[in-house]
Amino acid sequence: MKTPAELFSLKDRVAVVIGGTGELCGAMAEGFAKAGAAVALVGRDSAKAQKRLDKISKAGGRAEFFPCDTTSKSALQKLLADVLAKFDRVDVLVNGAGVNSPTPFFDISEEEFDKIIRVNLQGVVLACQVFGRHMVERGSGSIINIGSASGLKPLSRVFTYSASKAAIHNFSKNLAREWAAKGVRVNVLVPGFFPAEQNRKILSPDRVASIMAHTPMNRFGEAHELIGATLLLASDAGSFITGTELVVDGGFDAMAI
């Protein structure tokens, strides 16, 4: 039987973190690297990526930036080929790219709706097709799709975002059922309220007060507080966990009145 340290270790594994140039998934990428994984940091902003790569390198980890338009299947196929050329395998995939908008419902344009669905849902579906095939063929792998508190209960002011995340929750459970016997686990990591880049524009003082009133811990989460849950889902410690929604929200989902 493995020791706890061995269970949570990602030594000799490769993790692909889509959205890894952002705050939350960037922290997850650092966690993977510190647990021993080689990390493919995927995004569009090389400057943001370099800051994260420097942190990982300073801590003794191994990571490389791979630019990619994750709404394009051909771009994702090239990403997989590039990661395999560099690291030989993919053991973990995090789908964390996302966009948000507080546009009032009657003002949501077709263009805005299409963009949010394309990035938040279509990009995840395509990445699961491309990387999931590799994992199924190898007979092992862990996919972690980033959901949202709004995927469990719809939140005001973020209509399209909430719909896209609810779809991710449903889609992930369906894939988990499909691939469970093939050695590939699929789970949803559900952050509560973290002051991530995409959320700051909708965090007005009245909204912050409302969030705090519904969060028993009475504070926002910090990015590093997602690392433990991510490592559980990615490592052998979570070998019998698939199709779950792992909520990290300071008690928000448990709050009623």
User: What's the rounded mean pLDDT across residues 38-43?
Assistant: 98
The answer to whether position 211 is within a domain reads no
Per-residue pLDDT at 198 exceeds 60: no
Rounded to the nearest 10 degrees, what angle do helices 110-117 and 159-179 cross at?
30
Integer Cα distance of 241 and 115 in angstroms: 32
In a domain, 9, yes or no: yes
In a domain, 148, yes or no: yes
Q: Give CA–CA dist 248/227, Å, rounded.
A: 10
Mean pLDDT of 225-244: 98
Residue 155: what pLDDT? 86
In a domain, 200, yes or no: no
Rounded Cα distance, 95 and 230, in Å: 12
Residue 205, pLDDT score: 87
Q: The domain containing residue 24 runs over which residues?
A: 4-192+226-245
Which residues 6+ apart lie within 8 Å of 107 measured at CB?
none
- Beta partners for 40? 16, 64
pLDDT at 204: 82
pLDDT of residue 195: 77
Match 């449903």 to its residue by tokens: 170
pLDDT, position 197: 60
Whether residue 161 lies in the annotated active site: yes
Catalytic residue among 66, 161, 194, 252, which?
161
Q: Residue 157 domain-assigned?
A: yes
Residue 202 lies in a domain: no
Please give, one letter per residue, the 3-state secondary structure of the chain: CCCHHHHCCCCCCEEEEECCCCHHHHHHHHHHHHCCCEEEEEECCHHHHHHHHHHHHHCCCEEEEEECCCCCHHHHHHHHHHHHHHHCCCCEEEECCCCCCCCCHHHCCHHHHHHHHHHHHHHHHHHHHHHHHHHHHHCCEEEEEECCHHHHCCCCCCHHHHHHHHHHHHHHHHHHHHHHHHCEEEEEEEECCCCCHHHHCCCCHHHHHHHHHCCCCCCCCCHHHHHHHHHHHHCHHHCCCCCCEEEECCCHHHCCC
Number of structural domains the chain divides into? 1
| Alpha carbon distance 182, 209 (integer Å) | 46
**113-132: pLDDT as tens digits:** 999 999 999 999 999 999 99
Degrees to nearest 5, angle at CA 192 with 191 and 193:
120
Q: Per-residue confidence at 186, pLDDT binned at 50, 70, 90?
A: very high
Contact in structure between 224 and 29 (CB atoms under 8 Å): no
- pLDDT per residue over 52-95, tens digit each? 999 999 999 999 999 999 999 999 999 999 999 999 999 999 99
- Round to whole Å and give the CA distance between 167 and 127: 15
CATH (domain of 106): 3.40.50.720
Residue 201 has pLDDT above 70, yes or no: no
Residue 212 pLDDT greater than 80, yes or no: yes
- pLDDT band (50, 70, 90) for residue 202: low
The closest alpha carbon to 89, from 124, 49, 40, 123, belongs to 40
Predicted confidence at residue 200, as pLDDT, reads 64
- In percent, the amount of the chain with pLDDT more than 90 equals 91
pLDDT tens column, 98-114: 999 999 999 999 999 99
Pairing verdict, β 92-95 and 14-18? parallel
- Determine, yes or no, domain membership for 75: yes
- The whole-number pLDDT of residue 156 equals 87
* Beta carbons within 8 Å of 150's beta carbon, 6+ residues apart: 158, 161, 162, 165, 166
Query: Under 8 Å CB-to-CB from 212, ≥6 apart: which residues?
Result: 218, 219
Query: Would 205 be classed as within a structural domain?
Result: no
Q: What is the residue-averaged pLDDT of the chain?
A: 95
